[in-house]
């Protein structure tokens, strides 16, 4: 490269005040290869850009270095200007003379010297820049949504309504997620089922949505626009096509006493079951661990121990021999909406830093329950038909105590973040309790009330003022059984007094935690997660629903604790991103990716080991007669994101990362 | 197995039966206890209540003695002694100012790698052995395991059991054949060192513990701390008399229970030394009479 | 010995392989042998003079050996680690190579040394070796061997250098690496140096100065040691080949010590265990990072 | 060493965290030593130990290598691989007597403009105290040549 133009920007006074831009431009003029070096007040302005374009045309420049602000600010601007003048945009580079020089130094002399040095780096580097062409890859315009809670449902419906096919994968037998377990929703107190169920039905009936319930993502290959997803369809032991959802099998199942997951152990289900009456799809599944048929078989009993469900099934849908099966789908984008799990109180935690809350006796004292169990008690379709009754003796609790922040905001033994929804749902519980129990007394122990949101603080005030919940600011140290009541020992930090309350029931507002198996899913998708297991967005403010793997988007509580409105908003945002991606048949990508020098490559595949994206493929090099000479690495252009870890790892430096090649870095270092 | 042994003051005084039973159990399980030469009082509650430095220096000196004796594991049966030794070690490891202060006092800097274990740690590691060597399993006995304040807390010092829902003692009691009961007061305070200065408080606190154990159906309480033992055992007569709470509840050291299950002689285990006679308990598992003439008054 | 010869003969006769890579007697000591005829199998020997790491001949870059056809190779426990490395790094296919493991009680430092093995002439790495036979093989031959003679204080020198002050260390290495003539014998003989085009030979850009000059020598040997971290099988061939007698093993053993203490990694003959560079743990030590 | 010595320091930084963090230091007008010049790479995973060696050969007195904190890597794992590479390289450097204090490794996130300034100032100050890097010139003259 020999005809380089250097353009030094004053940025008004921003650079010019501390850097002698005239001296910089003069100095660079003398560098071999530079044919043109000028300074100007505002390079990014129209006249400034015109100067660059004019110089490219008139002086046949084959490289442009703009000494101005951060490339994060204006690299695109200047590359576009260069392209407009007929220069390949990747032959234009920026030296950061503002953020990295004039703004952080006072000594004009030394700042100018440094500015010259920074510009020199770029001049030397650009001598080795190559013209690059944007990469275009075709897009498979179908989407995969993982998780059928409210976020997944919303994302699937939005994409499907946008005219694109969606595959919705849900690991449970029915979609609906946690929202289907809730009684009413804050701050409007509309019934959760009433607003959710129609959406679930819509999913089932939408011509663009293929629902794969009781299924899990097994593996994900490929890259944006071109993912191949293998999905495991777990064996239901029921033929989905034959089953008509009549429910006879459940009625006749002899094992009626299994604590139901949907009712959080407060209600019973059968061994063949649909999780709840409004389930979508309304097809039962056999719990093989509890079913007498399978238990007998596992014990080696030759004759079938039970087969009641198969006997009563009209359409003969029961299939005891059903096996897991696999389907592979081609999709162009993936929305992850896998939701959350509740903090398991008093139980051994999988992480050593979390210790649980043995002092609250959850699991030992039957009338200590968690928030989701309270939801089931309060739900009209729940085990008590919506009556608040104690699990121990079925009596109505006249005094109920709610403890907030169980697990949340507790660095000593829980997790430090705020779970965000608990303040609101505890207020809701207090209001529901007030509606349902005459002369009941609700007491809430809280640390702070966090009720930011439309109508949220008003809602908490309503719990206090209209439902007469007594809010005490403080922690509870321990719960004791005292006859058939529970003695709550705590402290009211506002009065400074210790408090002891005889309660009939205690509800723990437990933290929202990331799903337990998130690491394996994140690995399959090559996306990252924080130390709590919540999936990382690409940028906390500006790219909240994207991930660092192009084509993978996030919705709902898998990214951080979220309530329903937030989850739905996020899901619609993710759907908009997917539809935006699908609006083009071809996808354009920056060409700053790795390429392998296949002559020098030895095929040791260290690059393959370190590549975070699985972008390295193996390719056979053959001679004229078709014999394999050697197997070398090849970079999949669609998958490579351009981190360059392969290049630094390659012992013989047979990989080059475009835009940051060894020659470019070497040249810059040599300019020291 | 060879272990450094720190008896502490109580085991040579008010809690002689704790030491007697420990030594008998240790011998039966082939554990060699080597007493630390010239050990000093751990400082108990008084030292660190008056001076934090003294509260660290006293146990640090004992750690130094143990180190000189090449002991890399120290067994401190008394929960309070254990707590003081472990806390001192924690301070030496994490508080540089304190560590340098102690260095200048002792003219020595104790290593912080010596491991300090309490009776729960020792015996729960031996649970398999206890079960295997059990000659008289305590089937049918219901025991309330009492951890008190100091055995598993604070968590950053003790680090071996859940500080709010511990189960190590229950684990050991299960190994003896007895059944640990689920109860609420396993971690509550008995009144500790206020036994003499604020007796009324001690009586109130200890009574709540006994009541809770009784209502959970326990036949006896198992403890790991001489101070707790003295409050629950010695004060029980007064408590029961004043409140008519019910039958007396024998308070046994954990090592005594283990000893009984190993078939050791109740007298050798010091069972005759308690104020509340464990005789009803022995009757329940079909053991002989404690010899009344050998009963000594403390 | 007869067992080895019989096996080799059978492998060739049954056309299981086309060439046996083994050892034969030479004028001074032993040397590598490439036997393609069953009749020549009686030339094969294996004893304490067989120091060469024959795995080096398996590298696809040795086209003259490749041309002989499908090989069977005689490997000691240390050589097996190199074979595992070649499999791990996709240089050879496990099924395409027949591995004749030999039981070994240590070898001498100098293959020309024909005196019996003693603590005086044993290769230091053998004194510290506790592996009498490879775990990776198709056939295993030879009598069981006892532990080799000599002090197992292999790394004393390493620790000694670590204990020096930086100036002394620098002086030491300037002295040692200053002798390097960049003949690259260390690289040529190394079973794990199999790059098609070595970084030291790359000129665009020339990261490593090519002239035999201490500054480039530092870059070369540091880079080589880094490339061998977690890969060097400690066969000692580089030191044996070095005409300037530079104790190069010190550098690769320092790298080995580094990966062992930091990541608990020790080179094995299990090809399934990944190398430490190229894998990671989330909680890898980072005491040196601010 | 003369106190007027101004060291020449090169920083190899990743584009997403440290480069952006340094931009933030600029927008926040945090003043720092002008001795450090940044070379931008996409990721610490791309930063080769050869860069360090070459920079030292070319007259740098100190080096900074900086990127995203663990778990924050834009490319999910580049920094983990870099961490191992640099750990072993640093051990080797130290072993042959090159002062590891000439090379600062750090994690500076996009939000840590202040930390970046600290890293720059601390490294400059430390290298200034160590004096010019004469090891290599000495090698070129060469005790053993």
Q: What would the pLDDT profile of A19-55 be if each residue is shown by its tens digit?
A: 999 999 999 999 999 999 999 999 999 999 999 999 9
Are the C-beta atoms of residues C67 and C10 closer than 8 Å to each other?
no
Per-residue confidence (pLDDT) for residue B292, from 0 to 100: 55
Are the C-beta atoms of residues A67 and A95 closer than 8 Å to each other?
yes
Q: Which of B239, B298, B228, B249 is nearest to B270 (CA)?
A: B298
Per-residue confidence (pLDDT) for residue A434, from 0 to 100: 96
Are the C-beta atoms of residues B153 and B163 closer than 8 Å to each other?
yes
Are the C-beta atoms of residues A23 and A112 closer than 8 Å to each other?
yes
Per-residue confidence (pLDDT) for residue A139, from 0 to 100: 94
**What is the side-by-side strand order in the sheet with A209-212?**
A209-212, A165-169, A142-146, A333-336, A552-554
- Residue A363 sits at the vertex; the CA angle it makes with A361 and A368, to the nearest 5 degrees, is 65
- Show residues of chain D in contact with A529, CB under 8 Å: 71
State mean pLDDT over A506-532: 90
Q: Which of D64, D70, D66 is nearest to D43 (CA)?
A: D66
- Show residues of chain C in contact with D77, CB under 8 Å: 280
Per-residue confidence (pLDDT) for residue D75, from 0 to 100: 87
Per-residue confidence (pLDDT) for residue D142, from 0 to 100: 44
The answer for A11, left when phi > 0, alpha when psi is -120 to 50, beta otherwise, is left
Are the C-beta atoms of residues B71 and B36 closer than 8 Å to each other?
yes
Chains A+C touching (3+ CB pairs under 8 Å): yes
Distance CA A42, CA A12 (A): 6
Strand A505-510 versus strand A497-503 pairing type: unpaired
Chain A contact for D37 (CB, 8 A cutoff): yes
* Chains in contact with A, where contact requires at least 3 CB pairs less than 8 Å apart: B, C, D
Q: State which residue of chain D sits closest to C226, comparing Cα positions.
A: D89
Q: State which residue of chain A sits closest to B216, comparing Cα positions.
A: A481
* Chains in contact with B, where contact requires at least 3 CB pairs less than 8 Å apart: A
Are the C-beta atoms of residues A601 and C196 closer than 8 Å to each other?
yes
- Residue A186 sits at the vertex; the CA angle it makes with A182 and A190, to the nearest 5 degrees, is 70
* Alpha carbon of A424: minimum distance to chain B alpha carbons (Å): 28
- Show residues of chain C in contact with D135, CB under 8 Å: 170
Q: State which residue of chain D sits closest to A645, comparing Cα positions.
A: D45
Q: Which of C178, C222, C278 sits opposite D92 (nearest CB)?
A: C222
pLDDT in tens, B76-115: 999 999 999 999 999 999 999 999 999 999 998 888 888 9
Chain C contact for A351 (CB, 8 A cutoff): no
DSSP state of C116: P
- Residue D22 sits at the vertex; the CA angle it makes with D19 and D24, to the nearest 5 degrees, is 115
- Show residues of chain C in contact with A631, CB under 8 Å: 90
Count helices and strands in chain D by DSSP H and E runs: 5, 4
Chain C contact for A655 (CB, 8 A cutoff): no
Token duo for residue C119? 């603590």
C57 membership: H or E segment, kind and range: none
Q: Which of C213, C259, C284 sits opposite D83 (nearest CB)?
A: C284
Q: Which of B164, B185, B212 sits opposite A358 (nearest CB)?
A: B164
Per-residue confidence (pLDDT) for residue A353, from 0 to 100: 66
Mind giving me the DSSP string for A432-449?
HHHHHSTT-EEEEEES--
- Mean pLDDT of chain A, nearest integer: 94
Chain C contact for A35 (CB, 8 A cutoff): no
Mind giving me the DSSP string for A519-539?
HHHHHHHT--B-TTSPBPPSB
Q: Which of D85, D88, D103, D84 is nearest to C257 (CA)?
A: D88
Strand B73-75 versus strand B2-5 pairing type: parallel
Number of neighbouring beta carbons within 10 Å of residue C34: 16
Question: Among A120, A122, A643, A653, which would you mutate to test the D interface (most chain D Cβ atoms within 10 Å of its Cβ)?
Answer: A643
Chain A contact for C273 (CB, 8 A cutoff): no
* Choice among A36-50, A186-200, A535-549, B55-69 with the minimum mean pLDDT: A535-549
> What letters, b where the CB count within 10 A reaches 16 and e where it falls short, cover B130-168?
beeebebbbeebbbbbbbbbbbbbeeebbebbbbbbbbb
What percent of chain A shows pLDDT beyond 70?
99
* Alpha carbon of A111: minimum distance to chain C alpha carbons (Å): 26
pTM: 0.68
Q: Indicate the pLDDT class of residue B39, thresholds 50, 70 and 90.
A: very high
User: How many interface pairs between A and C have CB atoms less than 8 angstroms apart?
Assistant: 56
* A604:C194 CB<8 A: yes
Q: Burial level of A274, CB count in 10 A (0-12/13-18/19+)? A: buried
Q: Which of B175, C56, D9 is nearest to A118 (CA)?
A: D9
Are the C-beta atoms of residues A209 and A166 closer than 8 Å to each other?
yes
Torsion of CA A152, A153, A154, A156, to 10 degrees: 80
Phi and psi at residue A526, to the nearest 5°: 55, 40
- Mean pLDDT of chain B, nearest integer: 91
Distance CA B286, CA B279 (A): 10
* Choice among A250-254, A258-262, B164-168 with the minimum mean pLDDT: B164-168
- Show residues of chain B in contact with A358, CB under 8 Å: 162-166
Per-residue confidence (pLDDT) for residue A228, from 0 to 100: 94
Per-residue confidence (pLDDT) for residue A351, from 0 to 100: 66
Chains B+D touching (3+ CB pairs under 8 Å): no
Residue carrying the six token digits 């620790």: C159
State mean pLDDT over C215-240: 94
Distance CA A199, CA B49 (A): 64
Q: Which of A359, A364, A478 sits opposite B182 (nearest CB)?
A: A364
Contacts (Cβ under 8 Å, ≥6 apart) of B265? none
Per-residue confidence (pLDDT) for residue A91, from 0 to 100: 97
DSSP state of A93: E
Q: Burial level of C271, CB count in 10 A (0-12/13-18/19+)? A: middle
State mean pLDDT over A163-186: 97
Token duo for residue B78? 């008394």
pLDDT in tens, B124-140: 999 999 999 999 999 99
pLDDT in tens, C154-178: 788 899 999 999 989 999 999 999 9
Distance CA B177, CA C120 (A): 64
Distance CA C247, CA C238 (A): 9
State mean pLDDT over A372-390: 95
Q: Indicate the pLDDT class of residue C265, thresholds 50, 70 and 90.
A: very high
- Mean pLDDT of chain D, nearest integer: 90
Instruction: Check whether A263 has a pLDDT greater than 70.
Output: yes
- Residue A238 sits at the vertex; the CA angle it makes with A233 and A244, to the nearest 5 degrees, is 115
Per-residue confidence (pLDDT) for residue B7, from 0 to 100: 95
Instruction: Check whether B122 has a pLDDT greater than 90.
Output: yes
What percent of chain C shows pLDDT beyond 70?
99
Instruction: Check whether C89 has a pLDDT greater than 80.
Output: yes
* Alpha carbon of C195: minimum distance to chain D alpha carbons (Å): 17
C228 membership: H or E segment, kind and range: helix C214-228
Token duo for residue B55? 């509260």
- Residue C22 sits at the vertex; the CA angle it makes with C16 and C23, to the nearest 5 degrees, is 155
Q: Which of B164, B166, B187 sits opposite A357 (nearest CB)?
A: B164
Instruction: Check whether C269 has a pLDDT greater than 60.
Output: yes
Number of neighbouring beta carbons within 10 Å of residue D113: 24
**Helices C214-228 and D49-57: angle between axes, nearest 10 degrees:** 170
Chain A contact for D32 (CB, 8 A cutoff): yes
pLDDT in tens, B187-226: 999 998 888 889 889 999 999 999 999 999 999 999 999 9
Chain C contact for A609 (CB, 8 A cutoff): yes
Are the C-beta atoms of residues A340 and A151 closer than 8 Å to each other?
no
Instruction: Check whether A658 has a pLDDT greater than 70.
Output: yes
Chains A+D touching (3+ CB pairs under 8 Å): yes
Instruction: Check whether C153 has a pLDDT greater than 80.
Output: no
SS3 A202: helix
Phi and psi at residue B35, to the nearest 5°: -65, 135
Are the C-beta atoms of residues C92 and C86 closer than 8 Å to each other?
yes
Chain A contact for C89 (CB, 8 A cutoff): yes
Instruction: Check whether D2 has a pLDDT greater than 50.
Output: no
What percent of chain A shows pLDDT beyond 90?
86
* Chains in contact with D, where contact requires at least 3 CB pairs less than 8 Å apart: A, C
Per-residue confidence (pLDDT) for residue A349, from 0 to 100: 65
- Beta partners for residue D11, in sequence order: D38, D64
- Show residues of chain A in contact with C195, CB under 8 Å: 600, 602, 604, 651-652
Q: Indicate the pLDDT class of residue B253, thresholds 50, 70 and 90.
A: very high
Top-confidence residue, B244 or A381 = A381
Phi and psi at residue A265, to the nearest 5°: 80, 0
A631 membership: H or E segment, kind and range: strand A628-635
Token duo for residue A617? 């493929």
Q: Indicate the pLDDT class of residue D140, thresholds 50, 70 and 90.
A: low
Q: State which residue of chain A sits closest to B182, comparing Cα positions.
A: A364
Distance CA D41, CA D12 (A): 7
Instruction: Check whether C75 has a pLDDT greater than 70.
Output: yes
DSSP state of B224: S
Rg (CA), chain B: 19
Chain B contact for A480 (CB, 8 A cutoff): yes
Instruction: Check whether A166 has a pLDDT greater than 70.
Output: yes
Instruction: Check whether D4 has a pLDDT greater than 80.
Output: no
Cis omega (within 30 of 0) for bond into C166 = no
* B165:A480 CB<8 A: no
Mind giving me the DSSP string for D66-83?
EEPPTT--TTSSHHHHHH
Distance CA A467, CA A433 (A): 8
State mean pLDDT over A341-355: 74
Distance CA B223, CA B148 (A): 8
* Alpha carbon of A303: minimum distance to chain C alpha carbons (Å): 45
What percent of chain B shows pLDDT beyond 90?
74
Phi and psi at residue A426, to the nearest 5°: -65, -40
Are the C-beta atoms of residues B255 and B119 closer than 8 Å to each other?
yes
Instruction: Check whether B64 has a pLDDT greater than 90.
Output: yes
pLDDT in tens, A523-575: 888 888 888 899 999 888 888 999 988 899 999 999 999 999 999 999 999 99
Torsion sign (Cα): C231, C233, C237, C242 = positive
State mean pLDDT over A134-139: 90
Per-residue confidence (pLDDT) for residue D143, from 0 to 100: 38
- Show residues of chain D in contact with A665, CB under 8 Å: 39, 41, 48, 51
Are the C-beta atoms of residues C37 and C122 closer than 8 Å to each other?
no
Instruction: Check whether B58 has a pLDDT greater than 80.
Output: yes
ipTM of the complex: 0.64
Q: Indicate the pLDDT class of residue A350, thresholds 50, 70 and 90.
A: low
Rg (CA), chain C: 20
Per-residue confidence (pLDDT) for residue C52, from 0 to 100: 94
């Amino acid at each position: 490269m020999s005809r380089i133009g250097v353009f030094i920007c004053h940025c008004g006074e921003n650079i010019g005040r501390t850097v002698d831009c005239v001296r910089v431009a003069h100095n660079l003029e003398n560098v071999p290869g530079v044919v043109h070096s000028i300074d100007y007040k505002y390079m990014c302005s129209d006249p400034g850009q015109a100067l660059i374009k004019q110089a490219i045309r008139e002086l046949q420049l084959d490289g442009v270095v703009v000494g101005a602000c951060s490339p994060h600010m204006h690299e695109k601007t200047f590359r576009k200007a260069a392209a407009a003048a007929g220069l390949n945009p990747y032959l234009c580079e920026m030296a950061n003379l503002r953020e990295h020089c004039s703004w952080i130094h006072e000594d004009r002399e030394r700042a100018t010297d440094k500015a010259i040095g920074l510009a020199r780096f770029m001049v030397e580097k650009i001598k080795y820049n190559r013209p690059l062409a944007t990469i275009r890859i075709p897009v498979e315009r179908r989407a995969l949504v993982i998780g059928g809670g409210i976020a997944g449902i919303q994302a699937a419906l939005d994409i499907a309504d946008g005219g694109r096919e969606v595959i919705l994968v849900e690991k449970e037998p029915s979609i609906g997620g946690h929202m289907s377990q809730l009684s009413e929703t804050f701050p409007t107190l509309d019934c959760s089922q009433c607003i959710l169920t129609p959406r679930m039905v819509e999913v089932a009936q939408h011509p663009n949505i293929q629902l794969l319930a009781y299924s899990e993502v097994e593996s994900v290959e490929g890259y944006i626009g071109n993912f191949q997803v293998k999905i495991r369809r777990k064996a239901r032991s029921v033929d989905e096509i034959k089953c008509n959802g009549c429910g006879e099998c459940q009625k006749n199942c002899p094992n009626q006493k299994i604590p139901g997951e949907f009712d959080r152990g407060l209600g019973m289900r059968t061994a063949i079951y649909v999780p709840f009456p409004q389930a979508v799809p309304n097809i039962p599944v056999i719990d093989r661990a509890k079913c007498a048929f399978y238990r007998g078989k596992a014990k080696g009993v030759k004759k079938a121990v039970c087969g009641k469900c198969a006997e009563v099934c009209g359409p003969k849908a029961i299939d005891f021999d059903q096996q897991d099966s696999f389907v592979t789908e081609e999709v162009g984008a993936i929305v992850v909406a896998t939701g959350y799990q509740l903090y398991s109180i008093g139980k051994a935690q999988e992480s050593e830093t979390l210790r649980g809350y043995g002092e609250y006796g959850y699991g030992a004292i039957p009338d200590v329950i968690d928030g989701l169990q309270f939801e089931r008690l309060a739900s009209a379709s729940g085990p008590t038909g919506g009556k608040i009754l104690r699990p121990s003796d079925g009596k109505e609790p006249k005094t109920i105590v709610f403890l907030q922040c169980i697990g949340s905001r507790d660095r000593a033994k829980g997790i430090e973040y705020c779970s965000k929804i608990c303040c609101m749902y505890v207020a809701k519980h207090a209001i529901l309790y007030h509606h349902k129990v005459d002369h009941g007394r609700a007491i809430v122990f809280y640390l702070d009330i966090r009720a930011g949101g439309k109508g949220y603080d008003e809602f908490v005030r309503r719990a206090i003022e209209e439902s007469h919940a007594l809010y005490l600011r403080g922690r509870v140290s321990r719960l004791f059984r005292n006859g058939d009541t529970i003695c709550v020992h705590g402290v009211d930090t506002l009065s400074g007094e210790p408090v002891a309350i005889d309660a009939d029931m205690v509800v723990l507002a437990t933290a929202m935690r990331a799903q337990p198996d998130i690491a394996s899913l994140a690995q399959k998708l090559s996306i990252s997660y924080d130390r709590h297991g919540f999936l990382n967005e690409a940028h906390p403010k500006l790219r909240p629903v994207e991930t660092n793997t192009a084509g993978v988007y996030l919705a709902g509580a898998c990214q951080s604790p979220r309530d329903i409105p937030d989850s739905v908003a996020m899901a619609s945002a993710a759907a908009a991103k997917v539809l935006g991606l699908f609006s083009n048949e071809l996808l354009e990508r920056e060409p700053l990716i790795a390429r392998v020098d296949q002559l020098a490559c030895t095929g040791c595949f260290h690059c393959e080991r370190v590549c975070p994206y699985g972008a390295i493929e193996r390719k056979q090099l053959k001679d004229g007669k078709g014999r394999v000479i050697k197997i070398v690495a090849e970079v999949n252009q669609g998958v490579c994101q351009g981190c360059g870890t392969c290049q630094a790892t390659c012992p013989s430096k047979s990989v080059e990362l475009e835009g940051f090649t060894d020659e470019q870095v070497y040249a810059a270092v040599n300019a020291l | 197995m060879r272990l450094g042994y720190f008896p502490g003051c109580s085991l040579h005084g008010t809690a002689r039966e704790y030491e007697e039973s420990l030594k008998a159990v240790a011998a039966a399980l082939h554990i060699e206890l080597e007493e630390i030469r010239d050990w000093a009082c751990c400082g108990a509650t008084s030292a660190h209540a008056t001076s934090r430095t003294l509260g660290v220096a006293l146990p640090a000196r004992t750690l130094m003695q143990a180190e000189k004796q090449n002991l890399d594991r120290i067994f401190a049966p008394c929960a309070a002694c254990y707590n003081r030794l472990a806390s001192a070690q924690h301070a030496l490891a994490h508080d540089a100012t304190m560590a340098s202060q102690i260095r200048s006092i002792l003219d020595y800097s104790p290593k912080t790698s010596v491991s300090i274990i309490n009776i729960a740690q020792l015996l729960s590691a031996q649970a398999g052995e206890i079960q295997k060597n059990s000659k008289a399993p305590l089937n049918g006995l219901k025991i309330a395991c009492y951890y008190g304040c100091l055995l598993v807390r604070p968590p950053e010092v003790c680090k071996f059991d859940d500080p709010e829902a511990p189960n190590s003692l229950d684990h050991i009691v299960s190994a003896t054949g007895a059944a640990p009961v689920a109860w609420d007061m396993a971690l509550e305070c008995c009144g500790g060192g206020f036994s003499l200065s604020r007796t009324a408080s001690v009586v109130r606190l200890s009574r709540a513990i006994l009541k809770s154990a009784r209502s959970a159906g326990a036949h006896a309480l198992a403890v790991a701390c001489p101070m707790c033992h003295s409050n629950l055992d010695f004060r029980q007569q007064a408590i029961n008399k004043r409140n008519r709470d019910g039958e007396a509840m024998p308070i046994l050291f954990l090592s005594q229970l283990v000893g009984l299950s190993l078939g050791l002689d109740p007298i050798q285990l010091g069972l005759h030394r308690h104020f509340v006679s464990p005789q009803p308990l022995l009757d329940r598992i079909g053991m002989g009479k404690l010899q009344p003439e050998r009963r000594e008054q403390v | 010995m007869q067992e080895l010869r019989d096996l080799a003969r059978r492998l060739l006769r049954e056309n299981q392989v086309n060439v046996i890579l083994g050892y034969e007697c030479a004028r001074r000591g032993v040397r590598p042998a490439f036997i393609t005829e069953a009749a020549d199998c009686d030339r094969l020997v294996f004893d304490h003079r067989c120091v060469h790491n024959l795995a080096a001949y398996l590298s696809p870059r040795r086209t003259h050996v490749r041309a002989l056809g499908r090989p069977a190779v005689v490997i000691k426990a240390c050589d097996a680690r190199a074979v595992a490395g070649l499999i791990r790094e996709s240089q050879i296919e496990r099924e395409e190579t027949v591995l004749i493991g030999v039981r070994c009680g240590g070898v001498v430092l100098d293959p020309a040394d024909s005196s019996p093995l003693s603590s005086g002439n044993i290769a230091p790495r053998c004194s510290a070796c506790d592996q009498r036979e490879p775990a990776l093989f198709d056939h295993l031959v030879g009598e069981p061997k006892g532990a080799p003679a000599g002090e197992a204080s292999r790394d004393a020198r390493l620790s000694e250098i670590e204990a020096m002050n930086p100036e002394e260390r620098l002086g030491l290495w300037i002295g040692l690496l200053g002798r390097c003539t960049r003949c690259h014998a260390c690289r040529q003989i190394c079973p794990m140096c199999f790059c098609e085009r070595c970084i030291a030979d790359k000129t665009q850009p020339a990261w490593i100065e090519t002239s035999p000059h201490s500054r480039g020598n530092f870059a070369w040997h540091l880079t080589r040691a880094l490339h061998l971290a977690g890969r060097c099988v400690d066969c000692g061939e580089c030191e044996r080949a070095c005409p300037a007698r530079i104790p190069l093993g010190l550098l690769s053993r320092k790298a080995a010590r580094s990966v062992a203490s930091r990541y608990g990694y020790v080179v094995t003959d299990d090809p399934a265990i990944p190398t430490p560079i190229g894998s990671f743990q989330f909680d890898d030590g980072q005491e040196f990072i601010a | 060493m003369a106190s007027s010595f101004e060291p020449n320091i090169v920083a190899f930084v990743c584009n997403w965290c440290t480069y952006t963090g340094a931009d933030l230091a600029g927008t926040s007008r945090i003043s720092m030593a002008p001795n450090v010049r940044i070379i931008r790479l996409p990721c610490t995973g791309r930063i080769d130990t050869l860069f360090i060696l070459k920079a030292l050969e070319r007259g740098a007195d100190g080096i900074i290598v900086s990127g995203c904190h663990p778990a924050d890597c834009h490319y999910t794992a580049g920094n983990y691989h870099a961490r191992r590479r640099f750990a072993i390289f640093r051990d080797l450097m130290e072993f042959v007597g090159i002062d590891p204090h000439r090379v600062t490794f750090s994690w500076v996130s996009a939000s840590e403009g202040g930390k970046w300034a600290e890293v720059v100032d601390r490294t400059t100050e430390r290298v200034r105290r160590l004096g010019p890097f004469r090891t290599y010139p000495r090698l070129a003259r060469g005790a053993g040549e």
